[in-house]
Amino acid sequence: MDRTQKAALFSAGIGLAVTALKFYAAWLTGSLALYSDALESIINVVAAIGAFVALRVAARPADEDHPYGHHKAEFFSAVIEGALIIVAALLILRESYYGVLAPKPLDAPALGVAINVGAGIINAVWAMALMRWGQRWRSPALIADARHIFADVVTSCGVLIGVGAVLVTGYPILDPIVAGLVALNILWSGFRMVRESVDGLMDRAAPHEMVNQIRTLISEHGEGALEAHDVRTRAAGQATFIDFHLVVPGAMSVEASHAICDRLENALETTIPGAVVTIHVEPGELAKARGVPVL
């Protein structure tokens, strides 16, 4: 089991503990906002389990049926997680609607708020750790899980504002209203996550900064070639697929052109984590004026 899988599995355990705390707080107070917050946390647990399964699949090596590997499994996990966030938001909106129609006074709010604050702090610390690891290890599944937990933290903050407003003003209707506003924010978070994950499934190019870095590496380590053109990238989980055409002098031997390719592959794979490089060699007369010049 690699580090990303361990993080996802641990995330499920933390999610279970936080969900239990939030349901206890909701039971103590009778707060619709706290109950909605607990509902959203259930999705955290399901999503973390989904991320763990996706990471297990993504870690499988390439085989005859999947020669490019299983990296995109992480994007599927992120799409599912985003959809679950949307479902959670709709459930909260539904509860909020009925709460506005029949607002209820809160019981034992101070203890319930204290418990919810503790659960929120646990979530916030864990979300920051997951986001840092996800970015460092280039794991869409962990990043999606971190964003989902951040959305849960936002929910908790909104809930606390709602409960506090009820205590200050004495108007219980504020409890479901705040729950509904927080649900709209969660809905937007889920939509954004689905959109970004679908981009990954559609072979979206690597970030512009990385593409510029790739072009610079080609220019610096392609000595002996004339230029490179048709540089293409696509990100798939922790892998970045890079392919381009390398133009060499027509009289250059296969051995010499292969040595240039080896040098370029080594530079790219050393600098770009998870790089998978494919180079097509062409004779000099096929050079393009707008290709990458080689120093």
Tokens standing for residue 252: 């250059």
For the chain, residues with pLDDT lower than 50 are: none
| Residues 230-276: tens digit of each pLDDT | 899 987 767 889 999 999 998 899 999 999 999 999 999 999 978 99
Query: Among 15, 44, 14, 23, which Cα is nearest to 112's?
Result: 23
Cα 158 to Cα 51, 99, 151, 219, distances in angstroms: 26, 16, 11, 51
Pairing of strands 239-248, 227-236: antiparallel
Q: Which of 238, 239, 232, 240 is nearest to 280 (CA)?
A: 232
Rg (CA), the chain: 25
H, E, C per residue of the chain = CCHHHHHHHHHHHHHHHHHHHHHHHHHHHCCHHHHHHHHHHHHHHHHHHHHHHHHHHHCCCCCCCCCCCCCCHHHHHHHHHHHHHHHHHHHHHHHHHHHHHCCCCCCCHHHHHHHHHHHHHHHHHHHHHHHHHHHHHCCHHHHHHHHHHHHHHHHHHHHHHHHHHHHHHCCCCHHHHHHHHHHHHHHHHHHHHHHHHHHHHCCCCCCHHHHHHHHHHHHHHCECECEEEEEEEEEECCEEEEEEEEEECCCCCHHHHHHHHHHHHHHHHHHCCCEEEEEEEEEHHHCCCCCEECC
CA distance 219 to 225: 9
Quote the pLDDT of residue 148: 76
Rounded distance, CA 29 to CA 32, Å? Answer: 9
Cα–Cα distance for residue pair 188/257, rounded to 1 Å = 51
Tokens representing residue 67 in the block:
């020669």
Residue 232: strand pairing partners: 243
**Pairing state of beta strands 292-293 and 239-248?**
unpaired
244 close to 218: Cβ distance less than 8 angstroms: yes
Report pLDDT for 129: 92
Query: Sign of torsion, CA 139 143 148 153?
Result: positive
User: Nearest-CA neighbor of 221 among 126, 119, 292?
Assistant: 292
Chain-centroid distance, C-alpha 87 = 18
pTM score? 0.61
